[in-house]
Structure 1
Amino acid sequence: MHQRMLASVRLERPVGRALDVGCGAGVSTAALAPLAHRVVGLEPVPAMLVHRRSVAPSARFVISTAERLPFAAASFGLVAGAGSLNYTDLTSALAEVVRVLTPDGVFLVYDFSKNRSSPPGDALAAWFESFEQRFPSPPGWRPLAVQHLPLLAAGLRLLDYADVEIALPMTLGDYLRYVLGEVAVDSQGEVAVDSAIARGDDSVEQASDWCRRTLAEVFRGGDLTVVLRGYLATRAPAGGGRSAG
């Protein structure tokens, strides 16, 4: 999904270094590889990086927060935030992004909705409603009006904004891994299913069995094309010389 989202990004050439802020397990970090010679992922929750070497073997990773980036000024030609700004103090995080960006650098902000739509009929949407009732989203996430961020106050300007829609073919196994491991991650790195398990509402086996059993009917006819809707916003330092591309 991250690779598809970033496929529309056009740079004159790959940048020297790229930073992925709030990188999670490193999937979004790996997707930055075509855009930079060196990629660094930053994540505040160490447990999220357990599989980093297999997910993004060529990247380096740092444990820290968006509000305190442990890097020198003007050290990245590209900074990306994939659904991570929702968990930050925006004023501090944006100030840090501007500080570490080179004058001609680019700041990419993107996210996508939970994959709950697969027309026609959209049985997946109905299933997702029952999933959210059984596994409520954990706290920590806040909605983000990306087109109304305090850009100028932070020293940023908007170069481009695009709504994105991608159709992804997914098997039952693909979708099962997605909902068990990626949906609704909170500020502590927990997903909705993990939180239910931690509360004692379900065991790992019970949660997995429920999802597999109820999804079997949705995927009864075979693979589904799941519609992914999101956005991609491109920003640059207010005094920089880069234009939209």
Structure 2
Amino acid sequence: MPTSSIYDSLRLAAGYAYARPPVHRHMVEAIPDCLGTTTQFRLVLDVGCGAGLSTAALEPFSQTVIGLEPVPAMLTYSRFVAPRSLFLVAQAERLPFRAGLFDLITAAGSLNYVDLGLFLPEAARVVAAEGAMVIYDFSEGRRLLGSDRLTQWFAEFQRRYPPPPDYDLDVRGLAYEQSGLRLQGYRDISVPIRMSLDSYLPYVMTETSVEAAIARGVPEADIRGWCAKTLLDVFRDTSLDVLFDGYLAWVRRG
């Protein structure tokens, strides 16, 4: 199943908008420290913003944020998710902005889906001379602090409902120099989010593996029922720290 058709789903857009834990907020909070700044950003471009969660996370740190997304359906709820931001349907490979406009560009889990040979020169073109691009991503919430119960459950979940094809992206090995950019720094980060069965179940139903299974004809109610039943043994009527393992990389011109 083509990845693009998965993200055309209004069900998935709603899930991303309303059922995802606030991991982006924790990731974005680390950006000023990574860049060594305490100054509010003037104009920020969030590339591949999806439902707008990453864009919303940038609002407290920015005067203006523009979320750019190639799939219109994903922006269905963006005005509710990030009411202070602007949104635009466009391709990352052809950024419709003048040179040197943005003092920060962010890309949260979106570079796996773009032509990097076209995007990186575009990013170098539209970022300001003293600006930066921050690339970050994080894993699914597949493990707990101090227990392997969720790790085992998530492995069975993905065996039952395989995720769509994807490819690994090591942002430390990209050809930045060919586009006039340089990798300045990289940081691993693990974000703990306190979750219960009542919050984890709606979240896991937003995984693309669920959307792919529904597209293959598996009833959504069957997937939800299996998850709800088997997650009882994981959460056991309590709240637990679910870990989202991620990274931030920051890139500058020159």
Report the TM-score, using the length of structure 2 for normalisation.
Answer: 0.86
| Alignment pair present for 1:132 and 2:158 | yes
State which of 25, 33, 41 in structure 2 corresponds to 1:3. Answer: 25
Percentage identity across aligned positions?
44
| Alignment pair present for 1:150 and 2:175 | yes
Aligned counterpart, 1:242: none
Q: 4+ residue stretches of structure 1 with deviation over 6 A? A: none
Between the aligned partners of 2:167 and 2:179, the Cα distance in structure 1 is 20
1:173 to partner: Cα distance: 2.2
Aligned counterpart, 1:224: 240
1:120 to partner: Cα distance: 2.6
Is there any run of 5+ residues in structure 1 with no aligned partner, and where? Answer: 184-190, 239-245
Aligned counterpart, 2:137: 111
Q: Secondary structure at the match of 2:31?
A: coil
Is there any run of 5+ residues in structure 2 with no aligned partner, and where? Answer: 1-22
Q: Any conservation in 2 of the 1:15–1:78 contact (CA below 8 Å)?
A: yes
Equivalent AA in structure 1 for residue 119 of structure 2: A
In angstroms, what is the RMSD of aligned CA positions? 1.3
Between the aligned partners of 1:3 and 1:65, the Cα distance in structure 2 is 24
State which of 74, 77, 80 in structure 1 corresponds to 2:106. Answer: 80
Q: Any conservation in 1 of the 2:197–2:237 contact (CA below 8 Å)?
A: no
Aligned counterpart, 1:69: 95
**Farther off after superposition, 99-108 or 208-217:** 208-217
Aligned counterpart, 1:195: 212
Aligned counterpart, 1:172: 197
Q: Any conservation in 2 of the 1:87–1:142 contact (CA below 8 Å)?
A: no
Number of residue pairs matched?
228
**Farther off after superposition, 166-175 or 91-100:** 166-175
1:221 to partner: Cα distance: 4.3
Between the aligned partners of 2:216 and 2:244, the Cα distance in structure 1 is 30
Give CA-to-partner distance per residue, 1:168-219, whole Å, 9 cap, x none.
Answer: 21111221222111x3xxxxxxx2211111111x112222222111112111
Structure with bigger helix share is 2
Equivalent AA in structure 2 for residue 198 of structure 1: A
Aligned counterpart, 1:208: 224
Between the aligned partners of 2:62 and 2:111, the Cα distance in structure 1 is 22
Give CA-to-partner distance per residue, 1:107-127, whole Å, 9 cap, x none.
Answer: 000111121111433110010
**Farther off after superposition, 102-111 or 5-14:** 5-14
